[in-house]
Each structure stands twice: as C-alpha cells, then as structure tokens.
Amino acid sequence: MSAEATNPVSAAEAAVTDTGVRRRGRARLELRRIGRAALLGATAGPAPRDRLPDAISHVAEAHRAHHPEADLSVLRRAYVLAESSHRGQFRKSGEPYITHPLAVTLILAELGAETVTLTASLLHDTVEDTEVTLDQVRREFGDEVAYLVDGVTKVEKIDYGAAAEPETFRKMLVATGDDVRVMSIKLADRLHNMRTLGVMRPEKQARIAKVTRDVLIPLAERLGVQALKTELEDLVFAILHPEEYETTRALIAEATGAGSPDALATVAEHVGTVLREADIAAEVLVRPRHFVSVHRVRLKRGELRGCDFGRLLVLVAEDADCYAVLGELHTCFTPLISEFKDFIAAPKFNLYQSLHTAIAAPDGAVAEVLIRTHRMHKVAEAGVVALGSPHGTAPDQTEPVEGPEAAEDGERTDPTRPGWLARLLDWQESAPDPDTFWSSLRADLAEDHEITVFRADAGTLGLPAGSTCVDAAYAQHGDAAHTCLGARVNGRLAPLSTVLADGDTVQLLLAQDSHSGPSPQWLDHARTPAARIAITAWLQAHPEAAAQPAAAPRPPLSVAADRSSGAELHADLDGAPPAPVRPAGCCTPVPPDTITGFRVRGGSVTAHRTGCPAVDVMRRLGRAAVPVRWGDAAHCRVTLVAESFGRPGLLADLTEAIATAGAEVVSATVEPPNEQRVRHTYTLQLTDAAELPNLMRAMRDVPGVYDVGRTHRL
C-alpha cells in the first residue's frame, strides 16, 4: 500500500467530526505521537505479556468499546510482527511506517470491526512490503487472517505492468465476493492515505483522488460504510475542486462560527420537548452535514439558511418507535410530504434503514429529520464492517445477529453477495482484458441507485436504475439471452429497449432457435456491463451479424390462393327475393358465432359477429339489421392475425403449423417489422369450423409467436 504523509486538507478533516461511531471526547490521534511511541517501543524491547504495547493501546480501547470481551492477545502478536517487519521503513513524511497500519486499524476499530479484521489490518502491508510470507501469516494467525491479507495485497507490477492497478482491484473484488472484510480494510487503508496525501506531486494527488472518486467511494456506498464514504468524499472534493471546497468551507465557518444563531439546535430542542410530552424515549441530535453534502444542497437550493447546514437525527430503541416519532412530528409540525421516504419498510440495497422527513418549525425554518433505531444507526455508519464475519458469528461478538443478516442455521450471511456484488463478480469473469474490466467497473459503480424487478417464475432481479429488458435478459439467462425475442412487462408486450421501473414484473421470451443472436442495436439499450460484454463478445464472434445493415422498409408480403366461398349463410328477408350472404371481412365470423346481417350496395347481405364494432356503426347510421343464420355446411373461412417477434424461418414455421392443422391458406400478408415485432395476417379456409380453436393453439405454439386472434377491425 502506498504510504503518504502530511495532510493537505486538514480543514476538511477537522470539519468531519461526526462519524456517528467515534465516542464523544476521543480526538483523532496525532500520528506523529503514535510514530514516536512505535519508535520507543522498538528500542525499549518487547512489551510485557500482560499488556499491549503503548502504540496500540488506542486501538485496544476503541475495540473494547464495541467488544468488551474481545481477546486482545492476538492483536498484540500481530502488532509485534508488523512493527518488527516494518522496522526501518519510513513514510515520506519521515514517520515510522508502522503508523500507517496502526491508523488503518484504529479506523476499523472505531467502526466496530471484530478482532479478525483488526488483526489482518495490522498485517495488511507485511506480505507486500516486507519479508513476511503469506504462509507465515497463515501459520501464526490462521486461514481467515491470511485470506484477508492476501485479498488486499497488490499484484506485482513487474508481472502486470500498466494493468497492475485494474488487476489488483479485480483480485480484491473477487476476494470480497467471499469475504466483504477485504474491502473494509481497503477502504480504511485508502482513507488514511487520502488523509496524508500532501507530500505527493499535485498530478499524483489528482490521479489517486479520481480513482477514489470513481471506484472506492461507490464501493463504500454499496457496502453501507457511510462514515468512510463521507470523509473520502470531502478529501476528494478538496483535491479535485479546491475553489468550490474553499467556498463551502467559508460558508460552514460563517454559519457555525461564534455568535452565529444555531437554528437546528432550536428546532432540536422543540422536537425533544414534543417527544417527551408524547412519552417517547428518544435521543435528538444535531448532525452537521459534511462538505460535499453542503455543496450539493447549495447547488440545489441556492442561498443556504441555518437549517441547511445539518439535519436532525432521532434515535430510538425499536422499529415501532420510529413510526411513533414520525406521527408526532407530522402532527405537531408542518411536514413536507415530498421529502418523506421510508427506508425501513424498503431498505436500500446497502442495508441502510431510516425514516426521512422534513418539518417546518413555527418560525418557518425547514429541518430535515432522520429517524432510526440505535442498531440502524450503527449499520448506517459502519455498514458491513458492523456485521463482522460473513462466514459465522465472530468469537468476540457479544450481541446475537438479528434481522435479514441472520440465516436459519444461525450462521451470519453476507447480505451484499446476492445483489450488486454478485452481478459484478459474474460480468468480471467475461471481461476480456484489464482495460475493459476497468472501464466497465467504473461505469457499473457510477450507477448509484438500484431497482428490484420481479421475474415471471416468482424470483427477483436486482438491477441498476435505468436498466432495460436487455439488461434483465442477461441478468437472468446469461449467454442464453442471445436468443431473446422480446419481453412482457407487467403482463403487456414490450420491446427490449423498455426501461424498467422498480417493482416491474418481467417475463423474458426466448427463441428455441439457438443460432439466433443479438443485433448491434442491442448495445444502444444495454446499461449493465454484463449485457454489454456478452453482446460485444457475440458480435465479435459473428462478424457477419455485426456487419449486416439495418433492414430497409419493405412493402407487405402477400400470398394469395383460391378465394372459394366460406360456410353457408342464409338471410331471412321477409318475402323479398333471396340475396347472396357473405361473411364480413372485418370480423370474419365462423360457425357457431352469433351473427347479425346488414344490406350493402348491390343487394347482398354482409354478416358480422355480434360484437363487431361495425355493428354499432351501422345501427348509429340507422341501418336496419337483417336476420341471418348459418347453413348446414361445416366449412368456413376465417382471418387470423398472428403477432410475433421477427426471426429467420418464422413464416415457414407458421405456414407449416397451419397446413398440419388441416387449414388452407387463402391469403397471407406479412407487415414490415416494427421494433422486432412482426404482424402476420392469414385468411384461411377450414373444412370444419370446430377445428378453429385447435388451429389457433397450434399457431401460438410456434416459437416467437406471442398472440393469435381473429380480425376485429373496421
């Protein structure tokens, strides 16, 4: 890991004081003091076995605050190995190198990480930067610690060259798929390096900040580690946007300076009074916004008011208390309904749960309010770090696991694995080269919202917001989605380009022909890396399909045959001379349909199905209905419309199905494809009208055909 020093953004660091997990009164440690303690410990000999070295005592204190019964002996052994192996190494600021793993471990300890994570954090640079081997770590500390250390160890640049950074992240993400603690250590490592980036050249600072912005911050968001994410955002903000950062810093300093009225504190006091009168036990805190949050609010609202520099945080004991607090606030204050969000009933994909609302105080000030339980607050700040080992309850875990993280067999499960991380691990296997992986990873992480859609088989798919049916097809079927013909969204036919919304139900329709494949236009609709990589790979393997030009509009294809008469029809004309009767082409009635006749020009009679729209039109025009009836003959003529997805050989398959059912094609029309959908119209002669249902069923069974119906048009 890179070891930088001297903080160029101390103002941002000083402003970010409310991490939500750091205990009141414990200031951030002075790294130079830790460095001196480490140096003194190295010269004074090993510490007695009954206590930890002074340099790690702060880590032990923070760890015991979350895990009072934790066994600290393993931390002592890890520190001794780390300090002795890094002895003689210095950061660019001149501090002993051991200050870096100590600071990273302290960050994780304050977030509530368990002992195994802290042990691996102390050793996370030993295999990469010292003579310590992975086997040695495994022998002394076990397989779990060795796995975590290996997960955060960079690949050798001499082996990968310019691809070393992408391949390091690929390796780290694959390891994270089995144990999210790997990424927890990486995030804490990057946070400390960002805090101490000042001795680097400006261009290198910018490069590291951009990677942090594009990759590490989105990963912190997805893992729910808000305490790390917000500080990383501020540090990146100070480096990449120094002018905006200075403007924001000045606004915060002015609003929070001595003598400035504290509007939020006044609202917090009023809220506390309301909740006490309602006999609701709650802790009401003022939660300052971090720099980037203030900057975003300023861009959204323009001029900032006192309440815009923070939010109220209401902490309660139980889920039901959250809704009780919400009811009291909406009763005693004027709520802004547009600002209400319920992330308790519908948690975010990164485990976040809270009620969000906004209220207007009597003086007109509008304050945003977060309502959550103490447990929700811990998870909101520390995310997966607070969950400990994904493979089982940690030995030093003092509280039982509750909620969705607890598996039926009592083991802890990793709640992030089924969602975004599973998708990422799937598509990264198909990324052909580091550049594709690196660009796809950044694009995937740039999608900061997720939707859930329901599959026709009762399963669910987690997809980035903005995903289309193409993305859903590849998420559900993998490479088999190459044969996708279309989809039904919420029961209605939809093109593959349809953008899905949260809660939609999607049924993907696949062709039975395994030789069909995606068109180049699918890339215009694919948002997820999995879909784009799979489509691109198929098109590269089938250049003839990729080079095929888009189909030009063509006139309808018509096939005509003998137009023999249909079933016998008779009209009762009240003594008038007999007149020829024929079925109407708009609804093509067949026995035993209920029919109604109307005279037309030339003296003939046209028979319509009773429900045909033309019947209502005739009656509105004052045309008298003529009684008509079927004769004894069973043969009839009918016009059917087949709605289908275009594919090679479809017309031949439909014609074969019609012939097999014993029907004769009188005429056929195929309209030009529209969004991959094709409309076939057949006029057919049947020897027995009773066979019509079987014929329609046989046509629907043709792959690619999703509906067959009789004509019903004016």
Contacts of 643 (CB under 8 A, 6+ apart): 493, 677, 678, 679, 705, 706, 707, 708, 709
CB 104 within 8 A of CB 121: yes
Token pair for residue 714? 């004016």
Q: How many CA atoms lie within 13 A of 461 on its CB side?
A: 29
Query: Which one of the listed residues 54, 61, 128, 342 is annotated catalytic?
Result: 128
CB 284 within 8 A of CB 369: no
Please report which residue ranges of 285-410 form alpha helices under DSSP H.
291-301, 319-332, 374-382
Length of the chain: 714
Give the dihedral sign, CA 580/585/586/591. Answer: positive
Q: How many CA atoms lie within 13 A of 143 on its CB side?
A: 3
Token pair for residue 169? 């992240």
Decide if 131 is catalytic: no
CB 677 within 8 A of CB 644: yes
Residue whose C-alpha is closest to residue 286's, from 313, 259, 325, 267: 313
Work out the number of other CB atoms within 10 angstroms of the CB of residue 96.
25
Across 533-674, the runs of DSSP E, i.e. the strands, are 557-560, 569-571, 581-583, 595-599, 605-609, 625-626, 628-630, 636-645, 664-670
Token pair for residue 202? 């400006």
Token pair for residue 613? 């729209």
Work out the number of other CB atoms within 10 angstroms of the CB of residue 407.
11
CA–CA distance from 355 to each of 32, 221, 272, 292, 323 (Å)? 42, 18, 17, 22, 8
Query: Which one of the listed residues 61, 129, 214, 447 is annotated catalytic?
Result: 129
Q: What is the dihedral of CA 115, 118, 122, 127, to 10 degrees?
A: 90
Q: Which residue is listed with tokens 């109220």?
A: 312
Main-chain phi, psi angles of 375, to 5 degrees:
-70, -40
CA–CA distance from 700 to each of 86, 339, 467, 640, 653 (Å)? 72, 48, 29, 11, 11
Q: What is the dihedral of CA 344, 345, 350, 352, to 10 degrees?
A: -10
Please report which residue ranges of 478-550 form alpha helices under DSSP H.
522-525, 529-541, 543-547
Query: Number of H helices and number of E strands within the chain?
Result: 29, 22
Decide if 129 is catalytic: yes
CB 426 within 8 A of CB 533: no
Q: Strand 366-373 and strand 310-316: pairing?
A: parallel
Catalytic residue IDs: 128-129
